[in-house]
Structure formats: C-alpha cells, structure tokens
Structure 1
Amino acid sequence: MNQKTRIFEKLSLIFICLLLLICFAKTFLRKTAFDGQRAFSLLVRLQGSGARVPSTESHSQAVGFITHQLIKNGWIVQQLPGIVEGHPCINILATRGNGQPKILLASHYDSRMHADRDPDPDRRYLPVPGANDGGSSTVVLLELSRVLTDAQSSNIGLLFFDIEDQGDIPGWDWILGSREFSRQESYHPELLILLDMVGGYNQTIQPPSNSDQFIYQQIQSTADQFEYDDHFLNPSTYSIIDDHVPFLEAGVPSVDLIDIIDPNWHTIFDDIENVSVTSLQRVGDTLYAYLIVIS
C-alpha cells in the first residue's frame, strides 16, 4: 500500500466522522468561532500600508504585520528568506509545535506590481492594491490562527507565500515563492489547502481541474451544511498555475480554493471596497469546521 493510498484511506475515515458530526451537531455548524468582521478589520490594517509589491517598504511592513499577528495568537513563526531568479523572497511559516505539520493552509500575500488588466491603459503601470488577490486569503488564515486552539491546530501549518503574482512581467515568473519553499524545505505534508481570491462580493469558489477532487468534495460537503453550496461550485474543467502546483508535483494531495472570476483582478479596483465580510465568513466557517475534524 503506497503513501497516497494510506492518506486517502485516512481522509475517508475522517470524512465519515465529519458526516457523523454534521448529523449530530448541525446547530454547531451554523455558527463557528471564525469572525468575518475581525478578518475584514485585519484586511483594513494590512491594506493600510499600501500595495505589497516585492522589495518595497509596504511589503516589509506586511511581513511584519503577518508575523506579529501570528506570534500574538501563539504560533511559532519562521521567516524563510531566499533569492529566486534574482528576486528577494520571504515566505512565512507558522506552526504550533516543533514537528512537521501534516496539514498546510496556504496563501500568497504579495501584490502585483502592475495593474496590467486595468481598463484604463494609463493606469496599467500602477500597482494592484491586492485586497482580494493576496489580501483576503491572508486574513482568513490570520483569523483562523486566532480561533483554532492548540489542540485543534497541533498538526496544522500556516504558510504565506511571497512573489506569487508577478508572472508575465519581464524578468519575473508565477509562483516563485512556493517553488522556493519546495526547494528550501523538506516538508512533505499529507494535505495542502491553498486559498486565493476568496473575498469578492460575487463569490464563486471553483477549484481548477488540477486540484485534488477527493479533498474538495469533503470541503464542498462541509460548505453545503452551512447552505453555502451556491458559493462552492463543482471544479472547473481547466487547470491553472497557482501555489499548489509545486506540492502536486511533489505528490502532496492539494486543493486550490480560488474564485477566478473577479472583474477587479489585476486592476486598481482590487481594493478594500470590493471585499465582502460575508464572503470571508463563508470561507472561514467552512475551513474551521473542516479542520477541527480532520486535524
């Protein structure tokens, strides 16, 4: 029996337990400890320092802010610096204990340096604020770091990737931070859940085809119990390049929770006014309920 088979058998057993929990504790699942308003308040503060373009002061302030919040919530934090294709990179890993986490929750936190999809050509060399793309997923993880107890999170790691969002800009490529993490670290978790662009008003979470379908079915079933089924759609038929790809290539079951249909993507309108507290709450509720069972 290979490792992947053992992982799937374990997750199947865990998911049966999750279904039993749903049957006997549906009232609990209607309200979790996750607070979307708190997450949004964190986003306001994160955005307050400006676009998190690599090698800028705003980027450095974001690294400090994320690190401070995690330490305040009782996590052990490692800043993992590196140089990728000539670009400085700081990934951030937070754990509860000294062992390697079995489950990784991940987000990128950088902002794209050029709003090259903006409808106004004169604005296409301005930085993207990154409130949804990079910001929303980051604050969901930060709020989860507050509400997950030591016991619930002992097998969980929170991973914040740098320089994910600079692809198709001369001298840059996509997902550089996650590739650097894979190169630097020997972690081989049992599961990776990536969040990306999860805070839009017209939220439709739809993993790409190159996501682990079995894991997503479990997450989707959890979302259904909150009556969030209109916002967690069946997987798409196309694959995308995102920070889960290096983990898939390493044989780690990985799922990308992404809302790719965002009209503000890579424009200057990816700002705080276009992020929804309710959308943050949906994702937070679903992940919190899922994690406390499988961890």
Structure 2
Amino acid sequence: MLTTVSVVTPDQVVVPGRTDKQIRRLESQLVREHAGVPPSLLHEWVERAHARLATAPVQDFVPLLVERAVRGFARDFAIDSPAMSATCPSNWAHNTARRLLAQALPQRWEHTRGVARRAEQVARILMPEDLGILVSAAWLHDIGYAPELIDTGLHSLDGARYLRRVGVSRQVCGLVAHHSGAAAVAEQVGLGDELAEFDDVPGHLRDALWYSDMMTGPDGQPTTLDARLAEIRQRRGLDDPVVRALAVNGNERRAAVRRVHRLLANRRPRPARRCELSSSGCDTWQLHDHDVSRLDHADR
C-alpha cells in the first residue's frame, strides 16, 4: 500500500507573529506613501484586508495581497476624496454612496437615490450655501448599512463615524448621525452616548433631510408619511428598535415633515449651482403647491 506524504517547504510554515510584524511594517510604509489618506482609515483598510485572509493555509502571500487591496482603496480615495471634490461636495457624496450601496444593497441604493432626488427639490427652500450640504447628507444618510462599514449595527452612527474618519464636514456628519429621529433608536439599543459624539442641530437643514427620507419609499418612489411609517412597521416588525422608537420620535418626524410642507408652499424656488442639484443624474420630481396642500392635509 502506497502512502502519500505531503511535504511542507520551510517558507510555507506559518511562524507565529511573523505575518503580523510584516503587516505592521506594511501599514507604516503605506501611511508614509499616502499622506492624503487619514492614518486611521489606512489602518481600517489594512485590518479589514488582513482579516479576510486570516485563515489562508499559506500565509507567505498575505502581506502582498493586503498591500494590493489597500493600494486599491487608496487609489479610489485619491480620485474620489472629499478634498478633491471640495468645489462640489454632493458629487463626492453621490459617488461614495454608489460605491458602498449600489451592488451590495441595491434596494437601499434605490431608496438613497430617491431621497437625493427629493432633497434636490426641497433644496429650493434653503439658502444657496446650504444646498450642497443637504444634497450631500441625503446621498450619505444610509451608507452605514453597507456591509464594510457595519460596526455598532446602528447605521446612522456607523455611517457618521466613517464620514468623520475620511474628513467630511462636522455638519454633514451630524445630519447623517441624527437623521429621522436616530437618537431615539440609539437609546433603544444602548448607543445614546455614542451618537451624542455628533451634533444634532434643529433647523431647516435637519427638517429637510428628515422630510426627504420620510417621504421616500424603500423603492425610491415618492410616498406619504403615513404610508412610510406603516411600511417601516410592517417590514421591521413590532420588536425592532426602529419601530419601538416611533413611540418617541414619531411626532417629531411628523412635525419636521409638516414644517417643510409649509415652507415649500410659501417660498419660490431659489437658483442653485447645477452640480449640487443635478448630482443624482436623475430627473427632479416636480412638487406643485396643490400637491403640498394635499400631502400636508393627509399627514395631519
């Protein structure tokens, strides 16, 4: 009877700690080479790529594969970074949301596109300097659902923390963190203190983002507030923390929607820079005064 013997060459033997030391040296090298990328973000990329290869039977190639993955992330970041898009931040926001959601979570991406369309329309109630902030926050409000960003499981917090790491403005981070009554959800899951890292500033911008989210269905199509709340309850179930939080933030959501309805009815459209109001590449919904009156009446 013949016995087959597997031969392991010396360079294939996993030496405890050797790969980890190589990864740390690689990370230091990448930090030096990519000065435009926050070191904390590079560390996150390295850790993520390394974790995916942790069970590889042959570890010799792990540092090389990690390096390739991180250089790819860094290349995309350099092309599509907040700093590179400073003249039109909503373009960066659109591209980031598409990268994180379009393939991994296609229905969430459709909802996001719808919210951005609605925000482009609602932007006419804001001063021109605030238009880019609202549209950017609309594109980014749900990126915390992306599998690669999930940390705490509270999508508004995970998304805001990612945006802070990559250098997005404090104002946009705060809008994303607290959108649509997220503070009440955070309290339900024991993350209230963590969410409080970000500013929650009442006002037209906050109301407009909440409105854009609450008036857009999961398929990205326009809806009413009552229909949206009913859909959330049906989809998530009564025991879900988002549904339980409606007892706390439901009236606040309704009040924000009503305030925006009134502003839309009372103000004429303001001129806007094309890049900030057309970043979705989609037709903007038309909302006429009689539609505002009908929606306001339906949500009372």
TM-score normalised by the shorter chain: which range applies?
under 0.3
Which structure has greater strand proportion? 1
Structure 2-normalised TM-score?
A: 0.26
Structure 1-normalised TM-score?
A: 0.26
Greater radius of gyration (CA): 2
Which structure has greater helix proportion? 2
